[in-house]
Structure 1
Amino acid sequence: MRLKLSLIPQNGKFSRPNKHAVQGFIYHMLKGTEYGQRHDQPKFKFFTFSDFFVDREGKATFLVSSPDSGFIRALQSAVKERESVYIGNDEYRVVEIKKFKLPLRNRFQTGSPIVIYRNSEEDEYFKLHAHRDLWFFLERLKDNAERKYNAFYNDDFILEGPLFDRLIPKVRNNNKLDVYVKVVKNGVPFPVIGSNWELLEKERIEPQERKFYRFIMEAGLGEKNSLGFGFLNPIRGEGRA
């Protein structure tokens, strides 16, 4: 399930919020609900959010997704009670809040960079441009997705075959494949490195795999989902899975 949030900065000037500030906003909104302790729970948080996109009128919109529909409903109820909200130090007027579901399809693109570790013990991120190991990237994504799915559903599902059959990375203007995002936590900045994708395609999603692919569509791919990484959008124009 997904929640669309459209906001207008009260000072009339949009400054892209830091991802840690957006995460903090979500946790703050959930205080007093059954999800109020989600921040303190170990391991997977089972939600992610997209990057912001801004229209010509200055309205800033982002999406929150989760396989837990109760999580989305609780967030929607909390935001609906307010005319304005704070993300970091900036105040925004809430102009639209909409809960919705999307049909599962077999083609996706990223709404925020996908992040995986090459070596988590050394805090080393996988860099698509430098490491050039697509097999490692796919295997690590698949393993991470299976672990999250099995933790959420208390299952032991294993996906047969590759996670995706066709991948097209999004190349930036400087011909770079990797995206460096500065995240600031408690005043301390640190870089997170990921990659955006024009296409992530599974040629055929079998009936027994649909629940799994719907889960990753809403929970996000890779690491640091609750910091707004790994957000997926199904691509319209193709048949449903």
Structure 2
Amino acid sequence: MIKFEPKERIKYSDIDKYTIQGFIYSILENDSFFYDYHDNVGFKFFNFSNIFPVSDFEKNTLKKLIISSPNDKLIKSLYKQLKNKTFFRLKNYKMELLKIELLTNKNCSKFISSTPIVLFEDNKNNQYYSFKKNPDFNFFFERLKDNAIKKYNAFYGYDFNLDSELFTNFEFGREVSIRLTKNNNKFIVIGSLWKNLEFNLTTQNKDFYNFLFENGLGEKNSLGFGFLNCRK
């Protein structure tokens, strides 16, 4: 968790997901192991929260950002490089770094989505799954399960398979559309927010669900989508 204060007033929308992703990559570029992580083909195993509280950046007002990853080396690299910094920049905006903390994982049995969960319905045509167009929970959770297992096995080199449903109980929140800009090109990402994603935590699946908690659910985790919190 990074705690910081802006040194000027900034609109919340001026700091988007690409800004935060770029900030993370810029730190990793200084690490001899992760310097080319941005160029690696395949999954990028990290995720991040929204900057919170979700409100405009007021001068000298506390803001927080959580970065998570199943890769301990990546998290320790970020921590090591940030802990001695006094200031950093998001875009060209100066931020004063107040504190950086290493957080411990929580073995919870309920998730809540902190940022929208994104899935492709047709990735060849860059078409995102939309409940408004196709309200099929079975399709969504089967695709979500396949995606989660594929990433877990890719990270650990396992041949794990989950025999049960991904979640035993769920409570849908709402569908959202997020406008993003990259290289002056504007596009929309469609995702969904969930009030409850419940599962049976066992000795056999504990590592799998811990991986999901640290890596996120769905597509585009390294762009800050599918970030999870434990639900009490």
Under a length normalisation based on structure 2, what TM-score does the superposition of the two structures give? 0.93
Residue type of the alignment partner of 1:169: F
Q: CA deviation at 1:36?
A: 1.6
Structure 1 residue matching 2:181: 3-state secondary structure: strand
1:62 aligns to 2:65 (yes or no): yes
Cα displacement (A) at 1:193: 0.8
Note if 1:71 corresponds to 2:74: yes
Equivalent residue, structure 1, for 2:37: 38
Which segments of 5 or more consecutive residues in structure 2 lack a partner in the other structure?
none
Runs of 5+ unmatched residues, structure 1:
171-176, 237-241
- Per-residue Cα deviation, 1:15-74 (whole angstroms, up to 9, x for no partner): 341101100000001112111211111110111001121289732212111001111110
Per the normalisation by structure 1, the TM-score is 0.89
Aligned pair count reads 226
Name the structure 2 match of 1:27: 25
Give yes or no for contact 1:14–1:58 (8 Å, CA) kept in 2.
Answer: no
Q: Is the 8 A contact 2:105 2:210 kept in 1?
A: no
- Is the CA contact 2:7–2:94 (under 8 Å) kept in the aligned structure 1? yes
Q: Deviations over 1:122-141 (max 9, x none)?
A: 11101123210101110111
Say which SS state the counterpart of residue 164 (structure 1) adopts: coil
**1:94 partner letter:** L
Inter-partner Cα distance in structure 1 for 2:23 and 2:54: 22
Counterparts of 1:34-113 in structure 2, within 5 Å, are: 34-54=33-53, 58-113=61-116
> How many angstroms does 1:14 deviate by?
5.1
CA contact (8 A) 1:115 1:125 kept: yes
**Map of 2:169 onto structure 1:** 166
Within 5 Å, which residues of 2 pair with 1:97-176?
97-170=100-173
Using the aligned pairs only, state the percent identity.
Answer: 36
Q: For residues 67 and 30 of structure 2, what CA distance do their matches in structure 1 show?
A: 19
Q: Which amino acid aligns with 2:130?
A: K
Q: C-alpha offsets along residues 199-219 of structure 1, whole Å, 9 cap, x if unaligned?
A: 0001x2221110100001101
- Misfit runs of 4+, over 3 Å: none
| Separation in structure 2 between the aligned mates of residue 92 and residue 132 of structure 1, nearest angstrom | 42
Say if 2:83 and 2:99, in contact at 8 Å, map to a contact too.
no
Distance in 1 between residues matched to 2:18 and 2:47, nearest whole Å: 12
Q: For 2:98, give the aligned amino acid.
A: V
Q: Which residue of 2 aligns with 1:205?
A: 201
Answer yes or no: is 1:178 the counterpart of 2:188. Answer: no
Secondary structure of the residue aligned to 2:204 is: helix
